[in-house]
Structure 1
Amino acid sequence: MPEAEIILMRHAEKPDKDRNEIGLSPAGQPDEHALSARGWQRAGALALLLGRDSRVQVPLPTPDRILASAFRENGGRSRRPEQTVQPLADRLSLSLDLAWSLNQEQALASDLRRRTGVHLVCWQHDGLPALARAIAAPDGLTEIPETWAWPSERFDVFWLLSRASATAPWRFAQHCQCLLPGDADRPLLLSPPVNDH
């Protein structure tokens, strides 16, 4: 059994301006920093997927700590990470940790490396690769190249970092959520395809 497991995920869907979608607060009011209607659907589905529902089989552990990138003027100006995992935190009767925000990946990674147990981190896509690499430091994470960027259209993947002990290397895996119609059944392509010509 791993000593530490860290599930990393992007927040659920944001409004698609090309489709004239709007963000919606929990009360249903327009909010440009909030999830779209589909994002709220994903948040509810995630609560069932990871929330100890015996009807759902999932290859991921149930978190005993949930963190989300906080809405801050100088950091991630989005409420979507918090909104994505609040239903799961409620279902598991866990407090949602909002101590960090976008651009604080190094500090968060330092905290996570010192802990045991299962931690779920919901973040903004532009900070996720840096966060994953920082957690695995100083050994590094060869699976995620330095120049790789999270695709803007993907909201449906978990990354799992795990290690057997405080001195063991981190292992990396991807898991597809497959929660909503249109979700991909393939993980993220983390390196450019090899050209055979």
Structure 2
Amino acid sequence: MSGKLIQELNLSNDNSFMGSCIHLYNEIMSEYYFKNNVSERILVSKNPNSNFSILDCCKEMSFCYNSYEILEKQLYKFLRTNNIICKEEKNVSIEFIYGKSYDDIKVDNNFTIHKDTGSTVSGESYTVIVYLHTNCQGGELIFYEDTLCSFEKTVVIDPNSYFPSFTKIVIFDGELFHKPEPFYNGKRCAIVCQISKSI
């Protein structure tokens, strides 16, 4: 894992990038009803024909976001502010993953240990996860090292910020193995952005 980026931040909700994420959150929450004790994924697109095919619509929920380009612009600005430079070629994928759990009922996210490569963004990518309005037990993002026989945990990130005016954000190389853990007793929202590394 040496040389690969993992950056954990607590960002003020007054930040312009956070303002765009909060706007997306409010728009989606006003359009969708989320069931209890289930984690659901929504593909976010700038128009009905981008980022997914008609077959994807049958498998997953999607949301056409009118302010997509503003969020995309704020995302690139946020990366530059954190010394991560990539060409603004609009090669971005955004997913909204939300779940809520009452009491001790664990909510699985249906992810296995994986890399964010070869998915919706061409080439190598960075992943930015914004844990907006997340307050739960469990739900950690765990990074792994691939050994010959198994995966070894290397980094564990708590998705909670513990400060109401701040949000936990994680930036990492998409080539790193990782997996979000199940959570319980609260809600977990992850706005997952994949951005092409090309410069």
TM-score of the superposed pair, with normalisation by structure 2: 0.32
Question: Which protein has the bigger strand share?
Answer: 2
Question: Which protein has the bigger helix share?
Answer: 1
TM-score of the superposed pair, with normalisation by structure 1: 0.32
